[in-house]
Structure 1
């Protein structure tokens, strides 16, 4: 038999103990109301974590784009940027980061819950239990694809602002300048790299998170329902950190290419594919993993934070309870 799996249940908080759910005074929401709450929780989780880590993202992007300048590690890169441009430069691109990842988080987490539930309904509880990892991977991959459609234009704007600080004063002016001078297509020049970065990242994040939770619980000899609130928080932060670091490594090459392709516009007649191939050849394996240490810190931290915030906000919004799959 399979016992309760928090990721598999589309209505249950990742972090709230089962006992908390039984005390809920209000009936659990269903249908569109429920998925709207998932989307809101995901939007807040991603916007808060990505926004808070904007300085790390700025440093990581600068290292990727100008390795000949920022070549003495992450800490020194921080010092270089502050010395040359002031501390405010570390918040470059904050606007598009918060807006872009709020939208992405809504589609990613809300979509993940929807596609996961859809798969469970289609396969049935028993078969779904036996193939739960495939469902985690499939549901998260589909959800991320649609999330990237809304994220891509804002990520393109963010990278342009970080790589060219004088390009525009903020999100709106930068977005409009790209559209005016280069056309709407320029906002999606990095759609291929963003898919290759975000889809494997999200699939790895959810799959590794689930495996990590199972392994940690097996090592302690406890079930999740036997953990205290503090132990549950520690479990999910630890599993989220492990998942984030694994996801960072998997998605790093595409992240480097995404930064490169959005730095400047392509030559007339040059396709996105040819630009990507050329960039990959020039960079080589070592170059594709430039900025890895900064990204490990960033992705590991924000992934752990996302799982924590997402679960807590779902609990606050009463997006808990519902059908469970035995594990």
Structure 2
């Protein structure tokens, strides 16, 4: 009898059609994402600094990723590679908390009330909604501050316009108004919405395809399995959204100091960059993005999957067949 019960339980856990008595609450998704964001930011900040400098380089000062990194370290000090870490880490922590939590809420809306399943279309819409929400609430103002700090050259405080993240935010509001913190909001919304729609859908698909892991089945992926799924899920977005990211960076970096703005908006920026610098310029910084985002997703999902998996094993019961 015990053997039969154990076999039934194992069969149920391995069955993707099995139902759960309870779902993973959004707050657990938010916690797992925020902790993953802290680890990711600490590891990958230098790559983000290099990406920003390459995207802002109009005169060809940097010959590539390695040259950019060594030039920054040689002329400004190694610490310059961690410029903007405070807003970047805070931004990632809050962003992932909002992203994971809101995605879980949106998915609950799109789930079929009878089967409890969610379609791929529902996953895409949930991911897009989470991306739009994080772009407007968190990503845009934090990235404006981060990019303004990263574009400054040197480490001597007396030579820098912005002395730190709080001072930077205050200066922007004073000189450009509160909306200055939302410069580049349109391309940020497009970039993040598209990225998260692809990422959440791809992560779920890779988990099922590679490891036969279904959300809520009680199975906890090994860290290296989460890293592979997260890395693969994080590759498509940067390629598709490269122009939005370049335009976002240019719009966020410019200020009204000294005259008119060069770029009037997202479409104008795309046209101007294309006419002045060519089509390839719209994908500037793609390689460092690919060096940062997929590994970043690998790190974040490794942490998040372990936390969510622990919750599943302790608190969720797989229903009897």
TM-score, scaled to structure 1: 0.79
Per the alignment, residue 249 of structure 2 pairs with 259
How far residue 307 of structure 1 moved from its aligned partner, in angstroms, is 1.0
Residues 303 and 324 (structure 1), Cα distance of their counterparts in 2 relative to 1, 3 Å cut? farther
Report if the CA contact (8 A) 2:218-2:316 is conserved. no
In the alignment, is residue 294 of structure 1 matched against residue 291 of structure 2?
no
Per the alignment, residue 124 of structure 1 pairs with 113
Per the alignment, residue 164 of structure 1 pairs with 152
Matches within 5 A, 1:9-48: 11=23, 34-48=25-39
- Where 2:265 maps in the other structure, the secondary structure is helix
Aligned residue pair count: 293
Distance 2:44 2:134 in 1: 20
CA-based RMSD: 3.3
Per the alignment, residue 211 of structure 1 pairs with 205
Report if the CA contact (8 A) 1:11-1:319 is conserved. no
TM-score, scaled to structure 2: 0.80
Residues 179 and 228 (structure 1), Cα distance of their counterparts in 2 relative to 1, 3 Å cut? closer
Distance 1:241 1:5 in 2: 27
Distance 2:27 2:255 in 1: 37
In the alignment, is residue 312 of structure 1 matched against residue 306 of structure 2?
yes
Report if the CA contact (8 A) 1:145-1:199 is conserved. yes
Report if the CA contact (8 A) 1:10-1:114 is conserved. no
Residues 81 and 125 (structure 1), Cα distance of their counterparts in 2 relative to 1, 3 Å cut? farther
Matches within 5 A, 1:1-327: 3-4=15-16, 11=23, 34-120=25-111, 123-126=112-115, 129=117, 132-148=119-135, 149-165=137-153, 166-217=160-211, 223-224=212-213, 232-266=222-256, 274-284=264-274, 285-315=279-309, 321-322=315-316
Larger Rg: 2
Per the alignment, residue 25 of structure 1 pairs with none
Residues 53 and 5 (structure 1), Cα distance of their counterparts in 2 relative to 1, 3 Å cut? farther
Unmatched 5+ residue regions in structure 2? Answer: 1-11, 154-159
Q: Report which structure shows greater RCO (CA 8 Å, sep ≥6).
A: 1
- Where 1:199 maps in the other structure, the secondary structure is helix
Distance 2:174 2:87 in 1: 18
Report if the CA contact (8 A) 2:72-2:81 is conserved. yes
How far residue 288 of structure 1 moved from its aligned partner, in angstroms, is 0.9
Report if the CA contact (8 A) 2:224-2:302 is conserved. no
Report if the CA contact (8 A) 2:132-2:190 is conserved. no
How far residue 52 of structure 1 moved from its aligned partner, in angstroms, is 2.3
Distance 1:314 1:52 in 2: 22
How far residue 304 of structure 1 moved from its aligned partner, in angstroms, is 1.0
- Where 1:164 maps in the other structure, the secondary structure is coil
Unmatched 5+ residue regions in structure 1? Answer: 13-33, 218-222
For 1:234-277, what per-residue CA distance to the aligned partner results, in whole angstroms no more than 9, with x for missing partners? 322112111111122122211111111111125878697x3322
